[in-house]
């Protein structure tokens, strides 16, 4: 561990434990702000330019901004058609927004000061927005809606090293939406959520973007008593309502994916003769954790809208 070796080199092998466990969050923030203030004072304009040239997190995306925004507007129009309220998220989220409630490790996220992190997954941020909306509604005299629908298009930033491919950046835009509700028995929320997801994707890809070859791959995942039977039940429900949809249930793939609970649904399009995974979604237990209520249900989905634009253009 590099950090531990550094701590030992400066004669403070307990430094990480002291900073993480003996300081309050506000104390650690004050300490880090002082350190970064001094480090910034040591920089010259030439240093700043060199950092800009070498830091893979700071370069702008190599993309037609006007064209991308046009595609985003089309996506928002479809989201709005299905009742998903658009949300303009902050560029940062609370520290641990990904690692605390999902399986994403904190080292894959760009952590920041003041108990924040740069948004690495907008669906996690939307889940926090859902939970906050639930709590705010409970404290008011307003009647809580049965379901909450939110959408966003957000530039994500993730820290893992990427292959040296032209145009590929550590930051990229994803169109996301979440559908929140509560367990009402018989997996009714889950059935309706998957059906709504499929209908929305058909409206976006087929009707709006004229991409006719669209496949939904529904993978059973752990989190429900019998994942295969659960997914089969949901898919049968969707097929009864939408006979024109192509849904696959791959066999023997429950696996160890713990990110989704019960169902993971991949969106596959065909472009220039190639099958491309362009989106991903499924059920997660994040609002159950945030609100400490096992009745809460949440379906999340994301589409690689920047990748999609590159394909279409």
Q: Which two tokens stand for residue 240?
A: 């009864």
pLDDT at 144: 63
The per-residue pLDDT of the chain, averaged, comes to 94
* Separation CA 131–CA 125 (nearest Å): 10
Q: Are 222 and 103 in contact (CB under 8 A)?
A: no
* Separation CA 244–CA 9 (nearest Å): 64
What average pLDDT does range 68-80 have in this prediction? 99
* Separation CA 217–CA 234 (nearest Å): 12
pLDDT at 162: 79
Closest CA to 289 of 78, 97, 5: 97
What average pLDDT does range 12-24 have in this prediction? 92
Q: Which of 3-12, 54-63, 162-171, 230-239 has the lowest mean pLDDT?
A: 162-171
- Model confidence over 111-150: pLDDT tens digits? 999 999 999 999 999 999 999 999 998 776 566 678 999 9
- Model confidence over 186-238: pLDDT tens digits? 999 999 999 999 999 999 999 999 999 999 999 999 999 999 999 999 999 99
H helix runs in 42-64, sequence order: 45-54
Query: CATH 3.30.930.10 residue ranges in the chain?
Result: 65-312
What average pLDDT does range 52-63 have in this prediction? 95
Q: Which two tokens stand for residue 242?
A: 């939408």
What average pLDDT does range 46-50 have in this prediction? 98
Model pTM score: 0.94
Asked whether the predicted pLDDT for residue 167 surpasses 80, the reply is no
How many other CB atoms are found less than 10 A from the CB of residue 302? 21
Asked whether the predicted pLDDT for residue 36 surpasses 90, the reply is yes
Q: Which CATH class is domain 65-312?
A: alpha beta
pLDDT at 252: 76
- CA 221 to each of CA 11, 179, 254: distance values in angstroms, whole numbers, following the listed order: 47, 19, 5
What average pLDDT does range 22-43 have in this prediction? 96
- Percentage of the chain exceeding pLDDT 90: 86
pLDDT at 143: 62
pLDDT at 141: 58
């Amino acid at each position: 561990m590099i950090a531990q070796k550094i701590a030992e080199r400066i004669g403070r092998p307990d430094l990480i434990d002291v900073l993480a466990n003996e300081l309050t969050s506000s104390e650690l923030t004050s300490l880090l702000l002082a350190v970064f203030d001094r480090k910034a004072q040591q920089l010259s304009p030439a240093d700043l330019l060199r950092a800009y040239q070498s830091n893979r997190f700071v370069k702008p995306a190599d993309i037609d901004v006007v064209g991308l925004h046009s595609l985003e507007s089309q996506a928002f129009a479809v989201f709005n058609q299905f009742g998903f309220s658009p949300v303009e998220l902050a560029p940062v989220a609370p520290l641990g927004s990904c690692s605390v409630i999902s399986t994403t490790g904190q080292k894959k996220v760009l952590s920041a000061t003041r108990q924040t992190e740069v948004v690495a997954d907008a669906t996690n941020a939307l889940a926090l927005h859902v939970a906050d909306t639930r709590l705010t509604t409970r404290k008011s005299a307003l009647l809580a809606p049965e379901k909450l629908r939110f959408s966003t298009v957000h530039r994500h930033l993730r820290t893992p090293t990427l292959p040296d491919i032209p145009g590929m950046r550590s930051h990229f835009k994803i169109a996301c939406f979440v559908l929140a509700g509560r367990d009402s028995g018989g997996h009714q929320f889950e059935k309706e959520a998957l059906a709504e997801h499929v209908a929305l994707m058909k409206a976006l890809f087929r009707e709006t973007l004229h991409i006719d070859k669209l496949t939904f791959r529904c993978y059973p995942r752990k989190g429900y008593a019998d994942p295969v039977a659960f997914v089969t039940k949901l898919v049968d429900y969707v097929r009864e309502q939408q006979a024109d949809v192509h849904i696959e249930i791959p066999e023997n793939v429950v696996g160890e994916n713990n990110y989704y609970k019960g169902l993971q649904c991949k969106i596959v399009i065909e472009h220039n003769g190639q099958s491309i995974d362009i989106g991903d979604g499924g059920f997660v237990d994040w609002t159950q954790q945030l609100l400490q209520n096992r009745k809460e249900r949440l379906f999340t989905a994301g589409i690689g809208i920047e990748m999609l634009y590159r394909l279409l253009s």
